[in-house]
A and B are shown apart, each in its own frame.
Chain A
Amino acid sequence: MVRRSRFSVFSMINGLLLICVAVSTIYPILYITAISLSETAYVVQGKVWFWPKGFNIDAYQQVLSNSKIPRAYLNTILYTSLGTFTNLLMTAIAAYPLSQRTFFGRKYFMMMIVLTMFLNPGIIPHYVIVQKLGLINTFWALVIPNAIWTFELIILKTFYENMSTQIREAALIDGASEYRILFHIVIPLSKPALASIGLFYFMGHWNSFFIPMIYLNDQTMYPLQVVLRDMLIFNEGNNASLVDASALAPQALKNATIVLSMIPVLMIYPFAQKYFAKGVMLGSEKG
């Protein structure tokens, strides 16, 4: 009897603590969204806590009519789609040869690749190389220098290694080329693994701010995160144009921009969790 009640007390405390954790991660986003949808008066008085008060979408209209943010949004979409595509293609065509046990020089190539995980000379030499290649202020600087992430390459290579070799052997006997096998058999069969590493690549591009910040000088090329950082953290000039001209609370405008930037991520997040968790676990097994 005593024992039983202690168990349920334990479960209740455990459950409550976990609810606290979940609230701590969800609440900030709820709060930001509520502010962005509320009427100025309520925001200024600090009356918005959970749900929007005086629901309206003025902040969104204003953010979207400002030329800077829609353009940054388009830039981000361009960089992310092009970047993720390049990443996946490069990783897939690199992982395939490495996954073949008899591949020429496999051991040495793998050593060369894995070694780079422990040798990280820092940002300056990277910057110097990118500069030498004339990539500064081009969007290639955001795509090419990080075209392959070693971790994701190893994950995909391991996935290919665990695939059945019979199909490949049969296809080779039928006279199919390696290219054909890779693009028509291996890649279609590895969709779950590609989705998993693709998610990491996608998140990396969508959320990156430091790399575009150092490699791009032209403000019209800035992706969303760099513009956000200028707006939110440094309150640079654009706030004068964005904020003062309106009766809207600056907080509402900021938060509307944040919410807009989070929409794609939050939309894929519930569906992506399967791949996300898988990616982390695959990584940890190799790690």
Chain B
Amino acid sequence: MPSANSETAKSEVNMAETSRFKAMLKHIRKDRQLLILFIPCLVFYIIFRYGPLYGLIIAFKDYSVYLGILDSEWVGFKHFEKFFTGRDFWLLFRNTLLLGFYTLVFGFPFPILLALMFNEVKTRWFKKAVQTASYLPAFLSVVIICSMIIDFLSPTNGMINKVIQAFGGEPIYFLIEKSWFRPIYVISEIWATMGYEAIIYLAAIAAINPTLYEAAKVDGANRFHMIRHITLPGILPAVIVMFILKTGSMIRVGYEKVLLLYNAMTYEVADVFSTFVYRKGLLESNYSYAAAVGLFEALVAMIMLLTANVISRRMGGKGLW
């Protein structure tokens, strides 16, 4: 009897499996047109988003273009050891972290402040005009922004130096002066992204229930009270999400701008992981070494994102997930 029982149980399981399989086939058949539409996307993600992840194994190999990814020789952690013990490591680590940290700390409050300021403007056309102007830099390319920076800071013709000279000062060679690289990077970054990011906070402000302001007004609150007790708490979730995302990408300092602004005189403070990866990998064709550095950078970025997420949740806020 027990054996018969188990027999029936088995066949039931089998039947359940076949029927589930049949249901799946039916589902596929029903969705076949949708699946066909989805194929290009699937192929794209597999080749160009998961392919590079697979390609990362070259960080543990001595990759040669002729041998290919699979047939190149395994070398274990050789490239990592070389990187961590080399003298470049601490320099790059410090530069990347400092540049990212300054951009985050000094840059983060500006869009929020700007959004609060826009929100206090009652004249609609004026608000629209200044807001539109504020995100103009988001439409300019990095190359144009950097060439503007170079022009405006030029020691001979640059506007800034003309002003300095007009006040009787000596012209400053901003772009070859080490101490100026980080301020220039951070300030231009704030200038370029402030208006664009303010849009996000403005959207969050727009979502706040207006009756809260009316009630506060009845209670005699002035606009600073309202900013402090209604607007800021209202946009806090958006602020936290932005902060987590920014912390996660903090170490991913934009290589494009550094690449365009640095020079032999400022390498010591300007060279970051990503520019190093570019030079080693693509200019010197040292793919495996560069991939190892890139992998390290990606891991640090991920750890920082997870940490920021955990901290935000511990502090009672919501995380990204």
Enumerate chain A interface residues (CB-CB to B < 8 A): 3, 7, 10-11, 14-15, 17-19, 21-22, 24-26, 28-29, 31-32, 46, 90, 93-94, 96-98, 100, 102-104, 109, 112-113, 116, 118-129, 131-133, 144-148, 153, 177-179, 182, 203, 206-210, 214, 225, 228-229, 232-233, 251, 254-255, 258, 261-262, 265-266, 269-270, 273, 276-277, 280-281, 284-285, 287
Contact = CB atoms under 8 A, between A and B. Distances in A.
26 contacts: A3-B222, A18-B118, A21-B195, A104-B31, A122-B291, A122-B295, A123-B274, A123-B277, A123-B278, A125-B291, A127-B282, A128-B55, A128-B63, A128-B291, A145-B48, A148-B44, A209-B142, A225-B141, A232-B143, A232-B147, A232-B150, A254-B147, A254-B151, A261-B141, A262-B144, A287-B241
Contacts, number: 244
Given A14-B117, A121-B53, A232-B143, A251 B223 contact: no
Contact of A287 (B139, B162, B245, B305): B245
Interface string B222-250: 11000000000000001001100100000
Contacts of B141: 206-209, 225, 228, 261
Contacts of A146: 48
B144 A228 contact: yes
A221 B27 CA distance: 47
B305 A118 contact: yes
Nearest to B256: A210
Given A90-B41, A121-B55, A233 B146 contact: yes
Determine the main DSSP class of B at the interface with A: helix
Contacts of B142: 207, 209
Interface of B: 24, 27-28, 30-31, 33-35, 37-38, 40-42, 44-45, 47-56, 58, 63, 65, 68-69, 114, 117-118, 120-122, 126, 129-130, 132-144, 146-148, 150-152, 157, 159, 162, 191, 194-196, 199-200, 203-204, 222-223, 238, 241-242, 245, 252, 255-256, 259-260, 274, 277-278, 281-282, 287, 290-291, 294-295, 297-298, 301-302, 305
Contacts of B152: 28
A93 B41 CA distance: 8
A94 B33 contact: no
A11 B58 contact: no
A125 B38 contact: no
B245 to A, nearest CB: 7
Determine the main DSSP class of A at the interface with B: helix
Contacts of A280: 196, 199-200, 203
B120 A14 contact: yes
Given A113-B45, A251-B157, A14 B291 contact: no
B121 A18 contact: yes
B246 to A, nearest CB: 11
Contacts of A122: 274, 277, 291, 294-295, 297-298
Contact of B38 (A18, A94, A132, A208): A94
Contacts of B238: 284
A250 B24 CA distance: 68
Nearest to A96: B37
B231 to A, nearest CB: 14
